[in-house]
Structure 1
């Protein structure tokens, strides 16, 4: 009786539903410490012809993109399931071993151009992804982090804004010595930093770190897989990163068809690999349970019982305990974001690609060194990115969907329930009395007031994933179940109706997904229509 009542009760109110679905970030302002660090670094470099170097760096990225496009679709599809069938040739990467350890030669000029033009945008994309991880996983506080291809430390700066106190150990893989020096220079005036150690390759990390410390709570690879033209090495590296992951793996790439394709390939491969492992573990456990039950119960548990004093009634319980030790605690993998399912990506056959956008306010270095085609640069730019977040374990399927138990009235039903007294307007409450009038208009404002207001905005980044509203009451975040879809593109607002392109799960297990267009009108569902009008690209949508 109690279970049926709990299932019928709604989990969310209309306001709480909008809060839980909100995942997009408005225009991000780069934190003051990072802006000052970039200015200080560029002042120390004193690099002439910076605009020309920024243009040269952009052209080199385009060359790498052209090389990646040479890989055929059929070869890519085969490699997702078997990465040993093909070995591509890299144009600018030096392959140091058969295990995929790689090195990209960034010169000092390219490093300075990267810090001046690309680092703020990469920081904003990493911050947008990590703040969603913090919201969707409120119990996740990483203590150890591995940043593969960390470059100048954009992901580290983003993590300090999201988890300012929890990170204790930070390992960075960056083969470019110039990038490592730039990252150290940017952090030299910061305080309360975790223990940071840089390595050139993953092999160097494995040689200098014990086996117990090779696994990290959070592993991130941002804007690095697209610089590896060899698809075999790309998949091999992701497999190694997954082996170094204890809990969460984050992959971020540019929001281009090429970057989205890379994310889709890595997503398919990790899920396929973990499903294959789960099938093998089930076969081994079933075979061992049928063939070796008598031997295990008669020999192994008997020996342990004699040595530890366990009575004969507890022999089977001891055997079951030994079987639980053999099976790993976290078996399998599921997608935390952006997908609400673990099936095949439904956008692969639609001719579209999954990507998102994050707007950021341009820094002074970006406005100074980036070129425009005869038009003055805007004060902001839109960074497009694609990402995927894996977590070890199984997706929770017992949680009810967000709209379970919720009943929405139509517009006519809402009008019928209106109370005429609520429509009366008390004009006396619209004006303040003489006693309530203050003398704020006569106060003189100083620059310190504006500085204090700006500081409050910066602190708001660190408290952005706390899950609390203005009044201090705890609001429920979106869970990891399959009842949340993702708004892929900008909503279309046409008169009194809103059209949403949503990637969603088709079943409660989250094993299959679909890409659908949903139309919401004010007359049929005013509550969801109100939420749809305020939803943005990248927000969640409840089912």
Structure 2
């Protein structure tokens, strides 16, 4: 008997035929414009996704990467609040709904889901794609202008992924405040660039001021120890590419690494990681160098050597973004 498909597999399958009938030059042009928009720092008042061609290019170019980045952030949050499952979810600026797929991949079961976005073509395609997912068939896809006038219904979880870059500073502030008033938990994901990190820190500070506790990635809710302009906190998620995805992206590898920054904050009881690996571990002969953000509000490098036994073996398996030290395996002290 075949195992049920994962959310990632189902999403990839629904995207496979998405660009059928769309001229390659039109898809490439839309992708180039999207790349410039999503990597830029200039907010725009016009909808980024203007028509079906734009939305198809967006879904092929961005949905798998957004899904994996948000899923990684949600997994870290779920580790900090074990046993909790969101009873409702609002995805602000959700476009074609990648974050809603990531939520169902993190917490099984159905729940009321609302996706808000100003781009009607994105919402239409998101609803079409969601029909392939048994847990998203009843989601509401609602057009809404994301900005200062936005009000949100109460929800257990609000996600905001790759949206803050599109907003002015006053609109970013209003959105984060609205999410804080609405939700028990807020997860915000941005591009893993210095500017993206700065937007995440801006949102993180407002959530903490509103009474939230940071559950991930930070092991504390105090000020970020990274001095602005000197470094930025970001992580990496491995994204599998389909042949169609490789064609649209103009690449040949079977995977890519999505760099992202995020904050997951909550009013719920939470146990953040004791420390977080904030750079790719460096494996040397007989030792592993780990850059850690620690609960004492400092970032420092630690060296784990063979003499540390099990901890050394764990360090060799550690990945960028992991909690440190790892939780003991069941049955082992």
> Fold match, TM over 0.5?
yes
The Cα RMSD (Å) is: 2.6
Inter-partner Cα distance in structure 1 for 2:93 and 2:227: 27
Inter-partner Cα distance in structure 2 for 1:194 and 1:258: 36
Inter-partner Cα distance in structure 2 for 1:116 and 1:489: 28
Inter-partner Cα distance in structure 1 for 2:324 and 2:229: 20
For residue 171 of structure 1, the aligned residue among 109, 114, 118 is 114
Inter-partner Cα distance in structure 2 for 1:144 and 1:169: 5
Residue 160 (structure 2) pairs with residue 224 (structure 1):
no
Cα drift, residue 355 of structure 1: 0.3
What's the CA shift string for 1:156-191, capped at 9, x where partnerless? 1122222231x3211111110110111122123443
Higher-Rg structure is 1
Cα drift, residue 194 of structure 1: 5.3
Structure with the bigger percentage of strand: 2
Give unmatched runs, 5+ long, in structure 1: 1-28, 68-89, 95-102, 275-331, 396-479, 507-512
Q: Give the count of matched residue pairs.
A: 319
Aligned partner of 1:425 in structure 2 is none
Q: 1:505 to 1:195 in 2, by over 3 A?
A: same
SS of the aligned residue for 2:230 comes to coil
Inter-partner Cα distance in structure 1 for 2:135 and 2:88: 15
Residue 302 (structure 2) pairs with residue 521 (structure 1):
no
Asked if 1 retains the 8 angstrom alpha-carbon contact of 2:160 and 2:187, the reply is yes
SS of the aligned residue for 2:232 comes to coil
SS of the aligned residue for 1:265 comes to helix
Asked if 2 retains the 8 angstrom alpha-carbon contact of 1:30 and 1:363, the reply is no
Cα drift, residue 47 of structure 1: 4.1
What's the CA shift string for 1:11-45, capped at 9, x where partnerless? xxxxxxxxxxxxxxxxxx973321221123322x5
Aligned partner of 1:198 in structure 2 is 141
Aligned partner of 1:56 in structure 2 is 33
Inter-partner Cα distance in structure 2 for 1:367 and 1:534: 29
Inter-partner Cα distance in structure 2 for 1:175 and 1:349: 32
Inter-partner Cα distance in structure 2 for 1:117 and 1:394: 37
Asked if 1 retains the 8 angstrom alpha-carbon contact of 2:238 and 2:255, the reply is yes
Asked if 2 retains the 8 angstrom alpha-carbon contact of 1:119 and 1:154, the reply is yes
Cα drift, residue 219 of structure 1: 0.5
SS of the aligned residue for 1:126 comes to helix
Aligned partner of 2:3 in structure 1 is none
For residue 352 of structure 1, the aligned residue among 204, 226, 231 is 231
Counterparts in 2 of 1:394-413, with a 5 A limit?
Answer: none
What's the CA shift string for 1:118-166, capped at 9, x where partnerless? 111111111222223333322211121000011111011122222231x
Cα drift, residue 200 of structure 1: 2.1
Inter-partner Cα distance in structure 2 for 1:144 and 1:154: 16
SS of the aligned residue for 1:134 comes to helix
Cα drift, residue 105 of structure 1: 5.2
Cα drift, residue 116 of structure 1: 1.4
Q: 1:188 to 1:535 in 2, by over 3 A?
A: closer
Inter-partner Cα distance in structure 2 for 1:518 and 1:344: 21
Give unmatched runs, 5+ long, in structure 2: 1-5, 327-333
Inter-partner Cα distance in structure 1 for 2:33 and 2:90: 30
Residue 262 (structure 2) pairs with residue 387 (structure 1):
yes
Aligned partner of 1:499 in structure 2 is 289
Counterparts in 2 of 1:125-274, with a 5 A limit?
Answer: 125-165=69-109, 167-193=110-136, 195-201=138-144, 214-228=153-167, 230-245=168-183, 247-271=184-208, 273-274=209-210
Q: 1:107 to 1:518 in 2, by over 3 A?
A: same
Cα drift, residue 367 of structure 1: 1.1
Aligned partner of 2:319 in structure 1 is 536
Asked if 2 retains the 8 angstrom alpha-carbon contact of 1:120 and 1:363, the reply is no
Inter-partner Cα distance in structure 2 for 1:345 and 1:134: 22
Q: 1:59 to 1:494 in 2, by over 3 A?
A: same
Asked if 2 retains the 8 angstrom alpha-carbon contact of 1:259 and 1:386, the reply is yes
TM-score after normalising by structure 2: 0.87
Aligned partner of 2:276 in structure 1 is 486
Aligned partner of 2:212 in structure 1 is 333
TM-score after normalising by structure 1: 0.55
SS of the aligned residue for 1:348 comes to coil
Structure with the bigger percentage of helix: 1
Cα drift, residue 520 of structure 1: 2.2
Counterparts in 2 of 1:317-328, with a 5 A limit?
Answer: none
Asked if 1 retains the 8 angstrom alpha-carbon contact of 2:118 and 2:145, the reply is no
SS of the aligned residue for 2:231 comes to coil
